[in-house]
Amino acid sequence: MTAARQWNHIEDLDDFFTRVYHYHQRSGFLCMVLQDVLQLMYVVLLFLLHFCISYCTTVLLRVVEGLR
């Protein structure tokens, strides 16, 4: 098998080797998935905290205004 035919099934070699590099640097598939899931959970947590704080502040302001 020639070198040119060995890689003909991969359309974008740059993308392929970039993915292999990231796979190696991030210590494998399980670590990559775990890191991505934890990042997603972090973003969701921040969103929920922001929403909860905004909602609680709004409710407290309405209660305080209702007492006046």
Q: What is the pLDDT of residues 49-67, one digit of tens each?
A: 888 888 888 887 888 888 7
Nearest to 22 by CA among 12, 35, 38: 35
pLDDT at residue 68, rounded to an integer? 65
Share of residues in the chain with pLDDT > 90 (%): 22
Q: Whole-prediction pTM value? A: 0.55
